[in-house]
Structure 1
Amino acid sequence: MATGHADPQRRERILAATLDQIAEEGVAGVSHRKVAARATVPLGSMTYHFTGIDHLLREAFTLFAEHIVAVFEQHLEHAGEPDQAREAVTDLIHALSEGPRRDLVLTQELYTLAARRPEYRELTHAWMGHSRRLLERHFDPDTARQLDALIEGLTLHRALDGAPHGRELTRQAVGRITAAAVLA
């Protein structure tokens, strides 16, 4: 069992448990022992699958970033006309801000690491690159960059506000940024 071959989902369970641990206690609360207990795997599995805590955190945050990119894709992939793309962005902002609190906490934990450590900054740059490319299917690159920042900001503001603004204000903000900037 020490090899992990008898349990093909073990690595994925460890990564999911790591994200749950981060969401509950922050990055500082992550240890091999806590994650192994949460994932119900032997402690030795941690060092079999990951060379250390940094490797574990990078892999877990990579998995999380892929999840958020998938949420972007889900909202943007079927938008055709400019108005549909604008509405898709509005839907995305509301889905992210009204979604699991866990995702908001994980996003902020990743941003904090990225502000301090270049290897996590690379991960956030890759994440932003993916989200911008999805937005660039509908908008020019400068507008996609502005929208990406708007999505992040409005998601955070809506999630943390005791009385978050409504959909119409989000729609207006998206409309203002994209008014003259739709791909032909």
Structure 2
Amino acid sequence: MAGTRRVANDPLRKQRILDAALVVIQQAGVHSTTHRRIAEAAGVPLGSLTYYFDGLPDIIEQAFRYLSDTMSGHYRAALAAAPDPAAACAAVTDLICGGDYTSPREQTLIYEMYAYANHDPAVAEIARAWVRRSHASLALHFDERACRAMDALIEGWSMHRVLEGAPLDRDMVLATITAIAARFPLRADARSGTIEGAQSRRTRSSR
């Protein structure tokens, strides 16, 4: 009964804990993340963490899953909003050059996730699933080979931008992305992976 009242009175507490976990991981690193630091950052009693989560590894895993889900959603929305491949190239360029997708905070969290994934199978699968979702979003407009190249550039160039603390040459990035798209054009038999193909499938299924 007491547990039920606590959830009803503070329905967002679990999310606050996950947000706080990411704050602590970003500031102190996974290796220095503790129950107490997370509870203090979230402004909740220490016992709340064991109420909602099965230990510190569970908190870290769910925090990284939340991070990947949030960033994948942003990634997907940017590509889905592009009406054609040229606009998609511009959207990819914005993902690389802009600070909304990978700010210094997000980039630090990505470093931490990848490092932790080397020692935690569950987080390693979260990272692999993130890559698969990124490729699926790019596949709305591009060939599979182009998707792999672009996704690697999104990660690599975003990392360099944050590490160097300087903006990228947007014209150079756009020219590179456009050249990749032209070098690996979307094959006719792969059109079903695009927005146009998805719309076509919905039309056929409604007949």
Settle same-fold status: TM greater than 0.5. yes
Q: Could you tell me which of 10, 18, 33 is aligned with 1:7?
A: 10
Q: Could you tell me which of 113, 135, 150 is aligned with 1:147?
A: 150
8 Å contact from structure 1 (residues 72, 134) kept in 2: yes
Residues 1:177 and 2:193 are matched in the alignment: no
The alpha-carbon deviation at position 164 of structure 1 amounts to 4.0
The alpha-carbon deviation at position 182 of structure 1 amounts to 3.6
The alpha-carbon deviation at position 171 of structure 1 amounts to 0.9
Q: Which residue does the alignment assign to 1:126?
A: 129
Quote the Cα distance in structure 2 between the aligned partners of 1:53 and 1:171.
42
8 Å contact from structure 1 (residues 69, 127) kept in 2: yes
8 Å contact from structure 1 (residues 97, 156) kept in 2: no
Tell me how many residue pairs correspond in the alignment: 184
Quote the Cα distance in structure 2 between the aligned partners of 1:181 and 1:82.
12
Deviations 1:110-141 (A, max 9, x none): 01112333222101011111111000010112
Quote the Cα distance in structure 2 between the aligned partners of 1:158 and 1:101.
9
Q: What amino acid sits opposite 1:69 in the alignment?
A: S
8 Å contact from structure 1 (residues 97, 158) kept in 2: no
Deviations 1:127-157 (A, max 9, x none): 1111110000101122111111111001101
Structure whose alpha-carbon radius of gyration is higher = 2
Q: Which residue does the alignment assign to 2:31?
A: 28
With over 3 angstroms needed to count, the CA separation of the structure-2 counterparts of 1:177 and 1:74, relative to structure 1, is same
Quote the Cα distance in structure 2 between the aligned partners of 1:139 and 1:99.
22
Quote the Cα distance in structure 2 between the aligned partners of 1:79 and 1:97.
17
Quote the Cα distance in structure 2 between the aligned partners of 1:62 and 1:118.
13
Gaps of 5+ in 1: none
Helix, strand or coil for the counterpart of 2:27?
A: helix
Helix, strand or coil for the counterpart of 2:125?
A: helix
How do residues 51-130 of structure 1 correspond to structure 2 at under 5 angstroms? 51-96=54-99, 99-130=102-133
Quote the Cα distance in structure 1 between the aligned partners of 2:27 and 2:106.
11
8 Å contact from structure 2 (residues 114, 127) kept in 1: yes
Q: Which residue does the alignment assign to 1:138?
A: 141
The alpha-carbon deviation at position 73 of structure 1 amounts to 1.9
Q: CA RMSD in A?
A: 1.8
Quote the Cα distance in structure 2 between the aligned partners of 1:100 and 1:29.
22
Quote the Cα distance in structure 2 between the aligned partners of 1:176 and 1:115.
34
The alpha-carbon deviation at position 97 of structure 1 amounts to 7.5
Quote the Cα distance in structure 1 between the aligned partners of 2:100 and 2:17.
26
Quote the Cα distance in structure 2 between the aligned partners of 1:59 and 1:167.
35
TM-score normalised per structure 1: 0.92
Helix, strand or coil for the counterpart of 2:44?
A: coil
Structure 1 consecutive aligned stretches of length 4 or more whose deviation exceeds 6 Å: none
Quote the Cα distance in structure 1 between the aligned partners of 2:15 and 2:138.
29
